[in-house]
Each structure stands twice: as structure tokens, then as C-alpha cells.
Amino acid sequence: MFVGRILSIHRPRPAANGAWRRLYRAAVAAPLAAAGLGLAGCSTAHITTPARSATEQLLISTAADQAAERLAGRLAVKGSVYVDAAGVEGYDTKYAISTVRDALLRHGAAMAPTRDVAATIVELRVGALSVDSESSLLGIPSIDIPLPVSGTSSTPEISLFKKELTQGVAKIAATAYDKTSGSLVASSGPQYGFSNRAEWVLLLMLSWDTNDLLPPDTRPDPKPWDD
């Protein structure tokens, strides 16, 4: 009887051990399955960006528009005109040359298809066509702190008031002379154009930007849903 009781106590153990094994396997498999689902649900969209931003291009082209308008007003040439831009080089100069032609046309000139048939030659030169930046801060700037293991770390910037200004600058000049005699018709002198974009921060949290690059309501605000 005593041996039978011992056997009756030990016989259920294999079943109990099997249940524990199944429970253990389920406990291990659940997080692995969840991790697999999480990994399967992740996706990343890669967007390629050009070397220059649209804001930079708008700053330069807007400044060029202003300088070209002033230049055409100072020259005030009439009749058949050929724009000689052989000495103009650098980034965005093609746009600057085209906007000068446009301004001259709107001020009464007529563009000759070739130099030979023009009455007046307008020799164009560009002294500046680029972007400047400056920043001013009232507060505590970010400070790099060397760390023995991870290299360096930076403290956060504390901005009570901050202004970051990016300005497009254009300097364009032109000399108009008679094609046949080579005598001076008009000289514009250096004409300047400026465009601005400023980012402002007030009391760490309030931020906004101002610019003269686009007319009001030109760029629509993005919406989190479709109409």
C-alpha cells in the first residue's frame, strides 16, 4: 500500500512537467513573435535632397530681380539692344542674365538676336550673387563638453531671444555703348538687391520666421488630412 501511494503521487509529474514546458515555450515565443511583428511593421522612406535648398535659391533670385530692375531703370536704353554677358560667371548667373533682359524689355528696349544687328551693346557684369548669414542670441549658447568615453556632448541652448538672419545679396552693373562707334550710351553703376529670411525665438518656446521671398498666400500650409 505504501508503494502504491508513492507511485500514485509520482505518476502525474510527467504531465505537469509537459505543461510547464509548453508554458515556458509560449512565454519565450510571445515576445519573439511580438518583436517580429514590430520589425515587420517598421518602414523608412528615403527622400533625396538637392545640394542647395529652395530657400537659398529664392534668396539669390529675389535679390537678382531687385538689382536688375534698378539697373534697367538707370540705363534707360531704347531701340535694338544686345546683352553681352561673356564676362559673367558663377552660380545662378544664367538667371541673373535673363532677369536683366526681362527688365530691359519692360523699360523699352528691344532684344537683338545677334550682336551684329544690334544698335546698342549692353555689357553686363556681376559683382556679387550669394548669401550671407548672421545670428544674435540673448541667453546661453550651446557648449561642447568633452567626455572620457563617448567623446563630446553638448548642452542645450537657452534662448531668451534669438535672431538668425539669412540674406541674399546681388550686385549687378552694366555699360551700354554704341556698336558702331563704341561711344558710351549709358552706365548704370553698381546696382544692389537684397532679400531676407529671419528666424526668431522668444523665451525658449515661441518661434516664427519672416521673409520677403514670396507674396502673401503663395505657399499653402500643409494639412494633416486631405480635403
What is the total count of domains within the chain? Answer: 1
Nearest-angstrom CA–CA distance, 100 and 18: 88
- Residues 53-110 pLDDT 10s: 999 999 999 999 999 999 999 998 999 999 999 999 988 999 999 999 999 999 999 9
Write down the pLDDT at residue 57.
94
Write down the pLDDT at residue 7.
37
- Residues 177-207 pLDDT 10s: 999 999 999 999 999 999 999 999 998 889 9
Inside any domain, residue 93 = yes
Inside any domain, residue 46 = no
Inside any domain, residue 119 = yes
Inside any domain, residue 2 = no
Region 197-218 average pLDDT = 89
Inside any domain, residue 223 = no
Range of the domain at 180: 54-211
Question: For residue 152, is pLDDT > 90?
Answer: no
Query: Number of C-alpha atoms within 13 angstroms, CB side, residue 173?
Result: 7
List Cα–Cα distances, 190 to 46, 69, 128, 133, 193, in angstroms. 45, 12, 10, 22, 10
- Residues 155-179 pLDDT 10s: 888 889 999 999 999 999 999 999 9
- Residues 119-144 pLDDT 10s: 999 999 999 999 999 999 999 988 88
Region 17-46 average pLDDT = 53
Question: Do 96 and 197 form a contact (C-beta atoms < 8 A)?
Answer: no
- Residues 6-19 pLDDT 10s: 333 344 444 445 54
DSSP class of residue 175 equals E
Inside any domain, residue 175 = yes
Inside any domain, residue 11 = no
Write down the pLDDT at residue 52.
86
What type of residue sits at position 65? D
Where does residue 131 fall: left (phi above 0), alpha (psi -120 to 50 degrees), or beta otherwise? Answer: beta
Q: What cell numbers appear for 143 in the block?
A: 557648449
**DSSP structure string for 185-210:** EEE---EEEEEEEEEEEETTTEEEEE
Query: Angle of helix 54-75 relative to helix 93-106, nearest 10 degrees?
Result: 40
**pTM, two decimal places:** 0.72
Q: Facing residues of 168 across strands?
A: 131, 195
Question: For residue 30, is pLDDT > 60?
Answer: no
Inside any domain, residue 17 = no
